[in-house]
Every structure is written in structure tokens, then in C-alpha cells.
Amino acid sequence: MPDVSDPRNEHDRLVRMALGRVPQRLRGAIDWLRVPSRRPARILSGFLLIVGGLLSFLPILGVWMLPLGLILLAEDVALIRCGLDRLIIHVARRHPGWLTPSE
């Protein structure tokens, strides 16, 4: 049985909650990237998604890419992980319906 007090388990729970609104076809790719052995692909994808989010004024890119890139980078960067966890908790408290699955 997993240790409930383990911060890694709490992070996984929060990320699953945040990814509840992501379309199923994207969720499969994100789950694939979150596997620990895929660290190089995850870091590259996270970085590219963040850059794409910052260039959201261009036609195909969008702001939706920024949080997705942060979620991927948070798997490997503890500082981003802590900030992202606090942000997800804040959004869940402030806007309870936003993080419920859309399907």
C-alpha cells in the first residue's frame, strides 16, 4: 500500500487531477512521457511546450501548452514541482469545478 504522506504520491494525485480536463488523445501521450525512463523526451517536450505557450500569439500554438509543459518539467525539477503543486491546490480551492474531468 502506498504511503499517503509521501510527497511524490501527493504530487501524482494533484497532476492526475489537473490532467482530468486534457483530451484523451493528449492524456495518453502525457502518461507515456511521465514514465521515469523517458526523462530526456519528457524534458524536451516540456521545454518545447513552454516555448510554444509563450509564442501563443502564433496561429497553431496556444496558452494551453504552457501548463502542460510545466507539468512535464515538474516531474524532474523539484522547484517547479513544489510551485505547481501549490498552484493546483490554490486553483482547486478557489475554483472547485475547474479541475473536475470534462468527460
Going from N- to C-terminal start, the domains of the chain cover: 7-94
Tens-digit pLDDT profile for residues 45-77: 999 999 999 998 888 888 889 989 999 999 999
User: In a 10 Å sphere around its CB, with 0-12 CB exposed, 13-18 middle and 19+ buried, how is residue 69 labelled?
Assistant: buried
- What is the average per-residue pLDDT within 10-23? 84
- Which three three-digit cell numbers place residue 87? 498552484
